[in-house]
Structure 1
Amino acid sequence: MNTVNVLIVDDSAVVRQVLTEQLDGINGIKVMGSARDPIFARKLMEKQWPDVIVLDIEMPRMDGITFLRQLMKERPTPVIICSTLTEKGAEVTMQAMSAGAVDIIAKPKVGLKQFLEESRMLLGDAIKAASHARMERVAAGGRASALAAPTRKLSADAVLAEPLHKPLAATTERVVAIGTSTGGTQALEYVLTRLPRTAPGIVVVQHMPGQFTAAFAARLDQLSEIEVREARDGDRVIPGLALIAPGTDHLLLRRSGAQYRVEVKNGPLVSRHRPSVDVLFRSTAQSAGPNAVGIIMTGMGDDGARGMLEMHEAGALTVAQDELTCIVYGMPKEAVKLGGVDAVVGLPRIPGIVIQAPTRLAYMRAAGG
């Protein structure tokens, strides 16, 4: 395994020290240096260019956003933003994701040293994932997975019982469920900003800390013709609306008569995530069956693969983003390996699939399958 060389750029001596100590002990990661601001970082980078940069936002002499934008123009490099959990920080972090950051580490104002020590392995996973990012595909955004203490890997059973596989009748009302992680903010922006107000109702899980999902949804809402907002418990899923799971809770689709609603539910990490794509997809399989379209896009890991198989078995059309257009071809790859994907398509084709929301049979006939 190749060693990932990491540069830490943060004006906090505590952050630099603790991150260096924690990351240097992880197999496959080496901290090549640390700097208190981008000016000092530049001097280190003249000697050796890092594979991944962990970057603070508010620093003396030059802020992280300015430095990030310079990097993306000069030599696109995977950057993980290390941002404090504040409302202001959330807005600025959205700018960083738009500028090309591929991940977020949400650091608390208090208990910082303990947080970084407890999150050691997840920080390492984030860095390794970032090192695989296809930077030629990074135009805006990336993954931001909520950090928590390591836990054993649970399935969707921990939140929602397995589906009974009772076939649901096909209706004209469609719902689209989307799951994504690393690189997903870019991919979601591409898809949602190309949808008309007549697009079917959409439910989304994007791995992201809870303090950032509202700001992320608000930003997409400003850019899109459809309405985009963070989901609230009991919200109806209606045409022209995309509901994004809060970064602190699972998002489930429920059916009440002819209507679809969402349930926002706390619970354990599933596939090491909360919200989990597996949970959303399983609930969609149960509640919508053949009336749903499931789409899994760029992301590290395998969250959503089993849920997509359940959607496939329930009669839904299931679609995976292809390797060529993914920033990280992890989640779609695992879904394909499980055999739950009907079609593998490039990102440019996904908005059209969302707009049409065809049944599986209609899609396969149109594709000549």
Structure 2
Amino acid sequence: MAIKVLVVDDSGFFRRRVSEIVNQDSELEVVGMATNGLEAVRMAAELKPNVITMDIEMPVMDGITAVRKIMESTPTPILMFSSLTHEGAKATLDALDAGALDFLPKRFEDIATNKEAAIELLQQRVKALGRRRVFRPVSRPLTTRPSVDSHVSRPLREEEPVKPLERSVGRSAAPARASGKQYKLLVIGTSTGGPVALQRILTRFPADYPHPIVLIQHMPAAFTPAFAARLNSLCQIEVKEASNGDAMRPGCAYLAPGGMQMMVERAGTSGRIKIVSGTPEMNYKPSVDITFASAAKAYGGDVLAVVLTGMGADGREGARLLKSAGSIIWAQDEASCVVYGMPQAVTVAGLSSQSISLDNMADAILRESGRG
């Protein structure tokens, strides 16, 4: 049975273009088109689509408001289309906060290096979201710092298939107690669904978290400054977009800049960030594999690495190097992932020692780091 798609955009040309691309795939079917957010809310309730593609700026009702209302009344996986600007980034992050699961650039030339690749990636994203169940989100706007108690370069390999699990691997509960291992660095890699996952984890960390934190999120260059600023405004720890030469400090999270590669190096008793452009054949900018590999070289077995929700297998080979050096790798469990690709890759490869739900991940990390 085909995945049913509702296309929402005030541009007739864009509605037709997206619909043509979606309908080219035999596994997908456009069941309706809406010209504004108000129509989208009504059609979502009437048509019960499996996926909605949503513009942000529309008359009558904007896309962010529409996402919020749809998630309240008819929870549905939503893929946002966004401009690659600072304002577009902020609006897209607002849409993700409202309940959207993923986003793509609105200009197809920004999605991939050629037309065919862009078309295939759009189809793959829609299919991936269409296979997920979505539940009504808990209403808790994050506008202040909470209490501690309370991509786009040659992206097609992001969708490379991972062999399905044939049996349950790993444990989904949070570890009962800390292992007692000593760490010097926490590294977290993620892609689709990552912005919300990172926000949920990092807002639980206290200001005196004992290690530097390195974050690799597949995200365009225009988005990472806005995303780092948003996390910094919500978290008790400091969060910044990483710059070349940054000295790594405990209680500070360094977000890899979009369109670049981030590595970590040892500098005396501490560490520092190295930012490079990478080579054209690199499939992700930033790449989890590259950052994980540099952490293995610089810190050996003193790393706790976490792989969160995302398509494909980026992070698997870097995790292999980390594990060989004696570091610990954890994966997000399938049930709490938007897309169970990257965590599945490290789990099936036997690299992850724990599969942990997103709800339990922050507590597990804090406990393992001596702060639980």
Give TM class, smaller chain.
Answer: 0.7 to 0.9
1:87 corresponds to 2:86: yes
Distance 1:109 1:295 in 2: 32
The AA in structure 1 aligned to 2:236 is: E
Displacement after TM superposition at 1:117 (Å):
6.1
**1:26 matched to which residue of 2?**
25
What are the superposed Cα offsets for residues 301-336 of structure 1, whole Å, 9 maximum, x if unpaired?
Answer: 211122112111110011112223323222111101
Displacement after TM superposition at 1:357 (Å):
4.9
Distance 2:196 2:269 in 1: 33
Q: Aligned in 2, Cα 1:308/1:139: closer, same or farther, shift over 3 Å?
A: farther
Unaligned runs of at least 5 residues, structure 1: 141-145, 156-170, 360-369
SS in 1 for 2:90: helix
**Contact persistence 1:252–1:263 (CA under 8 A):** yes
The AA in structure 2 aligned to 1:100 is: G
**1:246 matched to which residue of 2?**
257
SS in 2 for 1:119: helix
Distance 2:198 2:158 in 1: 26
Residue of 262, 277, 285 corresponding to 2:273: 262
SS in 1 for 2:6: strand
Distance 1:301 1:153 in 2: 5
Query: What TM-score do the two structures reach when normalised by structure 1?
Result: 0.83
Displacement after TM superposition at 1:201 (Å):
0.6
**Contact persistence 2:333–2:355 (CA under 8 A):** yes
Unaligned runs of at least 5 residues, structure 2: 140-150, 161-180
Residue of 181, 184, 192 corresponding to 1:182: 192
Displacement after TM superposition at 1:343 (Å):
2.0
Distance 1:269 1:178 in 2: 24
Q: 325-334 or 198-207: which moved more? A: 325-334
SS in 2 for 1:287: helix
Q: Aligned in 2, Cα 1:340/1:110: closer, same or farther, shift over 3 Å?
A: closer
**Contact persistence 1:121–1:150 (CA under 8 A):** no
**1:99 matched to which residue of 2?**
98
SS in 2 for 1:349: helix
Q: Aligned in 2, Cα 1:63/1:229: closer, same or farther, shift over 3 Å?
A: same
Query: What TM-score do the two structures reach when normalised by structure 2?
Result: 0.82
**1:318 matched to which residue of 2?**
329
The AA in structure 2 aligned to 1:258 is: T
Q: Aligned in 2, Cα 1:222/1:83: closer, same or farther, shift over 3 Å?
A: same
The AA in structure 2 aligned to 1:91 is: K
Displacement after TM superposition at 1:26 (Å):
2.3
1:237 corresponds to 2:236: no
1:126 corresponds to 2:125: yes
**2:48 matched to which residue of 1?**
49
**Contact persistence 1:310–1:340 (CA under 8 A):** no
Alignment of 1:215-364 (within 5 A): 215-268=226-279, 272-355=283-366, 357=368
**Contact persistence 2:260–2:286 (CA under 8 A):** yes
The AA in structure 2 aligned to 1:236 is: A
**2:68 matched to which residue of 1?**
69
Count residues with an aligned counterpart. Answer: 338
Q: Aligned in 2, Cα 1:267/1:10: closer, same or farther, shift over 3 Å?
A: same
SS in 2 for 1:211: coil
Distance 2:272 2:227 in 1: 21
Displacement after TM superposition at 1:43 (Å):
5.2
Q: 43-52 or 291-300: which moved more? A: 43-52
Alignment of 1:142-161 (within 5 A): 146-149=151-154
Distance 1:42 1:94 in 2: 20
Distance 1:151 1:215 in 2: 25
Question: What is the RMSD computed on CA atoms of the aligned residues?
Answer: 2.9
**Contact persistence 1:10–1:16 (CA under 8 A):** yes
SS in 1 for 2:10: coil
**Contact persistence 1:23–1:31 (CA under 8 A):** yes
SS in 2 for 1:233: coil
Q: Aligned in 2, Cα 1:27/1:248: closer, same or farther, shift over 3 Å?
A: farther
**1:167 matched to which residue of 2?**
none
The AA in structure 1 aligned to 2:327 is: A
Displacement after TM superposition at 1:42 (Å):
4.5
What are the superposed Cα offsets for residues 91-119 of structure 1, whole Å, 9 maximum, x if unpaired?
Answer: 1111111111111112249999x976651
**Contact persistence 1:197–1:225 (CA under 8 A):** yes
**Contact persistence 1:138–1:186 (CA under 8 A):** no
**2:173 matched to which residue of 1?**
none
Displacement after TM superposition at 1:202 (Å):
0.3
**Contact persistence 2:309–2:332 (CA under 8 A):** yes
Q: Aligned in 2, Cα 1:174/1:270: closer, same or farther, shift over 3 Å?
A: farther
**1:165 matched to which residue of 2?**
none
**Contact persistence 1:291–1:316 (CA under 8 A):** yes
